[in-house]
Structure 1
């Protein structure tokens, strides 16, 4: 099962559209980590049938979406957030504590615009970077395990 992870599009809707177009036929789920929910709304007018979930970021003013969510997908528990509620620009200890407390297998966050992939205490962490910088993330969940990596547009 493939998840395409996007964050921080910051009015670069065309780049968001490029990612969706590239993966609309091979992604089982798209996750948007905030800071560009208006961009995503515009993209969904063109691609209304993709399966997507989202959270809001610190720049998504007046958004009604939550800042963090936990979902179960493909047998894995996923915490996804923009990252600002966990102060990720100042380190990852708060988000790691939250990931452990919710029993996450995968923790996805944005906000810093810096691509990041790591496994700590069996939890897969990923920051997909910023769509506005031309990067995003892919998480493949297979019976053999989880593989998370960054990709360029």
Structure 2
């Protein structure tokens, strides 16, 4: 299974179009963790499973979504209702509640990948306004029977090799 995760694009459309072109036929799903600041029917979001962030005003986006791929449950939220700027613990509790194998979120603009009791909690950073780093980022998550690989890429689609993480199952 291969997934693309992006968040906090804040009105930028060029980057989302590039991600569509590069990945829509190379991944099993593309997720946008909110604050796109676009309308739900804008073509730049075609192919993305998208949630509503605190800066999104289109009520057609769900606040959360639970999606299944290959018997894996993926929970997606922006994170502002879970206080992610202070802790990821609330998301870990939510993951247990909904039986999620993966949790994707945004809001803080800080990239991170943490394995908590068998659940991957991932923030891809921001494709437009990063915090903690200068690179504008998104993530690719790949899972096979033995491991989960997380790779972070710049908005120019260059892998940040020093940030690559592997979690053995």
Q: TM-score scaled to structure 2, two decimals?
A: 0.80
Contact 2:37 2:55 in 1 (8 A): no
Separation (CA, whole Å) in 1 of partners of 2:33 and 2:70: 19
> Aligned to 1:149, which of 148, 151, 160?
151
Q: What SS is found at the alignment partner of 1:3?
A: strand
Alignment correspondent of 1:91: 87
Higher relative contact order (Cα pairs below 8 Å, separated by 6+ residues)? 1
Contact 2:37 2:57 in 1 (8 A): no
Give how far 1:118 is off: 1.2
Extract unaligned runs of 5+ from structure 1: none
Give how far 1:39 is off: 6.7
Separation (CA, whole Å) in 1 of partners of 2:3 and 2:18: 16
- Segment drifting more, 31-40 vs 56-65: 31-40
Describe the superposition over 1:11-69 as per-residue Cα deviations: whole angstroms up to 9, x where unpaired.
Answer: 1111122222221231121111110151772414xxx5x4x311110100132221111
- Segment drifting more, 10-19 vs 102-111: 10-19
Contact 1:36 1:60 in 2 (8 A): yes
Alignment correspondent of 1:101: 97
Separation (CA, whole Å) in 1 of partners of 2:43 and 2:9: 12
- Segment drifting more, 143-152 vs 28-37: 143-152
Give the CA RMSD over aligned residues: 1.7
Q: TM-score scaled to structure 1, two decimals?
A: 0.88
Alignment correspondent of 1:131: 127
Alignment correspondent of 1:31: 31
Alignment correspondent of 2:19: 19
Higher helix share: 1
Separation (CA, whole Å) in 1 of partners of 2:106 and 2:151: 14
Extract unaligned runs of 5+ from structure 2: 130-135, 156-169
